[in-house]
Amino acid sequence: MNISKLAIHGGTPVRARYLPYGKQVIDEEDIQSVIKVLQSDHLTSGPAIAQFEADIASFTGAKYAVAFTSGTAALHGACYAAGIGEGDEVITTPMTFAASANCVLYLGGTPVFADIDPFTYNLDPARIKERITAHTKAIIPVHFTGQPAELDEILTIAKEHNLVVIEDAAHALGAKYKNKSIGSIGDMTMFSFHPVKHITTGEGGVITTDNPMYYEKLLQFRTHGITRDQKLLQKNHGPWYYEMQFLGFNYRITDIQASLGISQLKKIGSFIEKRRQISEFYTKELASIEEIVLPHQLSYVDSSWHLYILRLQLSRLTAGRKEIFQALQKENIGVNVHYIPVYHHPYYESLGFQKAICPVAESCYEQFITLPLYAGMDHRDMADVVDAVKKVISYYSNQRRE
């Protein structure tokens, strides 16, 4: 079998220019939306924020939406609204960005990691049940890669044990679970607007909820714990009066960011459709490669395709994940890895978390490689990714014949 020499060994790379794994798509409408706010009287705490929140609530089917400076800040607010504090435990997945667990630590709680399903890579409901104790207060399922977790089972478990469900949907804006929009199902749902997500506000996040009590707490939490709402004031000295009623944070998003979000959200349908097309192209073109496992999609969910992850069959390869990762990078394909299990980080180790508590997640981590996927990719970009994967995997296949 004649295989082109890999770029990592001095051969010519598949691409002349580097293709990132993800980035924002900004057009003239987005730019003009931001300029309009910059020329207005309100750069923060103005009408664009309320409009963005209303648009997000309408899109997801939730009653309320509260925007924050980041998805992490939004999760922090959701945990506060859920009443998480010292001594409380919150079950989540290790296959996520650290924020999904950090938000519990911020309030003195303890994240408890449950293992993932080996096919969907989402939280395994059976493993959730094993982790519940008298101290469990909430569950934070993560809709990994944009594919919703098994929400019916998770919500049933939560109801049986009187737990709050906070969905980490940083990957899942526009996704659906059994024809229900993510953002309208759990007690609270977080979306992220980081530049690699489906839409961006630069940095930003939001919590959606149908619960008016959570809504009021979230509003106050993002503004130092301060309220001007006369219904909530303990005293009232006059129309200027406001009260700080608890220790909140300055997590206010700006009108500049919100205006970009308003414009970006108008394009969410086309963004998700493009992501779906890229994913389908990858699946079609890579399906015959025995050395990799492609994403497994449940029939009753609509993924928003934030990530496209390959799982390497390392026993069929003559190189490890690191070598394959580096080879694809040398071909100018910006692959990535999602995620390092949260409890592998040194800070979590310092808290006493041990390795091997979630063996499926740990095994997956050793085999995962994330391919580039974003709405701004064209057909040449998609084809280059496929060509590079075929080239590198063929080179390192233990079935290869020189």
Cite the active site residues: 197
| Tokens encoding 119 | 């096919």
Q: How far apart are CA 322 and CA 325, in angstroms?
A: 5
Q: Which residues pair with 66 in a beta bridge?
A: 207
Q: How far apart are CA 203 and CA 253, in angstroms?
A: 9
CA 113 to centroid of chain Cα atoms:
17
In a 13 Å sphere around the CA of 59, the CA atoms on its Cβ side amount to 24
Angle between helices 255-265 and 28-38 (to 10 degrees): 150
In this structure, the strands spanning 292-293 and 301-302 are: unpaired
Cα-Cα end-to-end distance for the chain: 6
Residue among 216, 204, 163, 211 nearest 188 (CA): 211
In a 13 Å sphere around the CA of 244, the CA atoms on its Cβ side amount to 8
Angle between helices 321-330 and 379-396 (to 10 degrees): 140
Q: How far apart are CA 66 and CA 206, in angstroms?
A: 5
